[in-house]
Amino acid sequence: MTAPRIDALACHAAALAAVDPVRLVAACLGRDGSALVLRARDGRPLARHAGPVLVLGAGKAARAMGRAAAEIAAPACCGGLLLVPHGEVGMAGPLDVATGAHPVPDRAGEAATARLLAVVGAAGAETLVVAVLSGGASALLVAPAAGVTLADKQALTAALLAAGADITALNTVRKHCSRVKGGGLARAAAAAKGLWALVLSDVVGDDPATIASGPTVADPTTFADAAAVVARCLAPGAVPPAVRTHLTRGQTGAVPETVKPGDAALARVHTVVVGGNGDAVGAAAQAARARGYATRVLEPLTGDAAAQGARLAALLRASPRDRPVALVAGGETTVRVCAGGRGGRCQHLALAAALAHAGEPGVLLAAGSDGIDGPTDAAGACVDGETVARAAAHGFDAARALAATDSHPLLAATGDLLVTGPTGTNVADLVVALRPAC
């Protein structure tokens, strides 16, 4: 393993440590005597509560976040429910744990969401609901709007993902086909003493209305916005008829809008973003500087993954060669998937970078902070200037694999996959590109 590759892995490890969900929750939720206290990230007190506490949550980091919240709230914690992806293991203290599918929802997630909404709706006037939310909750929290079925939502979600819809567009549609997203959880908790939401961001800009599809905040988007996304991204035949009817009825006012600013459901709600992609990027950059790299933090990555991979390789090549150089970025790119291709956006970005960086010194690591990149066993990949040559030696054509969105088999053969398993956190993606002095 080369020194730049070792350094890239160290930067990745530092990024994950910076977004440890237990530490982030403890920074914003604490106790003052017998009272539970909610604080902003800058330490300002926002609210306090001295009574029973119910902890609920959903997302890829929900287990760790929920366990931390329950431990801080004890002995006032009277239980709760967390919804996490299938396959996760581990305890969550006094909280029940249910599982569902991601990124396309399933019947288990629908049943678990019904349980969660029932628990929230039964919370009494003296009970505070603490909700822990992270990336992945948009798929896990599935409560189809009236007239829309789970099958409709599954088909719609799969089609939008395959079309390369970004997270803002995807969640705009999700919110308008759901009873829990777009402020729906706040509506369900209207009879409780209050609702405090601790949110770990996986979206660029940390917009609470986009993270987890904004179940506890006002939604600035409309049915018209959702219909525009569907029209832009999908052919008419790819839209389930029930969804098309629902969106049309929403635009005419026949279906109530999502929660908007000033709604009474938000009167006793506090939502705090406890951390996000910027924390991971900052920690990775600090680690690179500590290892002697002249480090540049780039603007968040969005748009086509392959285009971003090629751009990053070009930036690395154009950097001064008299010193070690690091480029660090975060964000979430998109891929328009070809049928039969296997990979994820980070692997796709890395392969594009490997093609553009062939024969050059240095490495590029691209990984999902949750440890999952697409429907594969990898978090992403760490490629170098010899990746394309190694691929050819194993019978792979890198350009053809990129065009087919089939990066995973090639990167497995070259030994460039980064496999971490689920990390228990989720703040979108991290990219670290390093080049030694040469």
The dihedral through the CA atoms of 431, 436, 437, 438 has a sign that is: negative
Q: Where are the domains of the chain?
A: 9-276, 278-435
Positive or negative torsion for Cα 381, 276, 61, 340: negative
pLDDT value at residue 296: 98
Dump pLDDT digits (tens) for 123-146. 999 999 999 999 999 999 999 999
Q: Say what the pLDDT of residue 87 is.
A: 86
| Residue pLDDT, tens place only, 11-34 | 999 999 999 999 999 999 999 999
4 preceded by cis ω (within 30°)?
no
In the predicted model, is pLDDT for residue 1 greater than 80?
no
Local confidence band at 93 (pLDDT 50, 70, 90 cut-offs): confident
Question: What is the residue-wise DSSP string for 146-172?
Answer: TT--HHHHHHHHHHHHHTT--HHHHHH
Question: What average pLDDT score do residues 135-159 get?
Answer: 96
* 121's tokens: 């709706």
pLDDT digits (tens, 9 = 90+) for 186-204: 999 999 999 999 999 999 8
Binned at pLDDT 50, 70 and 90, residue 147 comes out as very high
Confidence at residue 261, expressed as pLDDT on a 0 to 100 scale: 96
Using pLDDT thresholds of 50, 70 and 90, give the confidence band for residue 345.
Answer: very high
CA–CA distance, 64 with 190 (Å, rounded to integer):
26
Mean of the per-residue pLDDT values of the chain: 96
Mean pLDDT across the stretch 355-360? Answer: 97
pLDDT score at 92: 74
Cα Rg of the chain (Å, integer): 22
- Residue 357 CA to its chain's centroid (Å): 28
| Token duo for residue 224 | 């018209």
Whole-number pLDDT of residue 88:
79
Long-range contacts at 27-34 (CB < 8 A, ≥ 24 apart): 27/274, 28/198, 28/272, 28/274, 29/68, 29/69, 29/72, 29/73, 29/130, 29/196, 29/198, 30/72, 31/72
Integer Cα distance of 270 and 168 in angstroms: 22
Q: Is 383 helix (H, G, I), strand (E, B) or coil?
A: strand
Class of 278-435 in CATH: alpha beta
Cα–Cα distance, 155 to 136 (Å, whole number): 18
Query: Does 375 sit behind a cis peptide bond, omega within 30 degrees of 0 on the bond before it?
Result: no
The whole-model pTM stands at 0.92
| Class of CATH domain 9-276 | alpha beta
Tell me the two tokens of residue 254.
Answer: 């026949």
The answer on pLDDT for 90 being more than 90 is: no
pLDDT at 91: 65
One fold for both 9-276 and 278-435? no
| 33 phi, psi to nearest 5 deg | 65, -125
Specify the pLDDT at position 290.
98
Which residue bears the tokens 């939310």? 133
As a whole number, mean pLDDT of residues 287-293 equals 98
Distance from C-alpha of 171 to C-alpha of 291, rounded to nearest angstrom: 39
**151-157 contact pairs (CB < 8 A, 24+):** 151/240, 152/177, 152/240, 152/242, 152/243, 153/105, 153/177, 153/243, 154/104, 154/105, 154/106, 155/238, 155/240, 156/230, 156/239, 156/240, 156/243, 157/103, 157/104, 157/105
To the nearest 10 degrees (0 to 180), the angle between helices 21-28 and 62-73 is 40
Helix axes 345-356, 407-414, angle to 10 degrees: 60
Say how far apart CA 300 and CA 279 lie, in whole Å.
13
Coil, helix or strand at residue 81: strand
Whole-number pLDDT of residue 52: 97
Mean pLDDT for 95-122 is 96
Name, in order, each residue with C-beta under 8 angstroms of 254's C-beta and a sequence gap of 6 or more: none
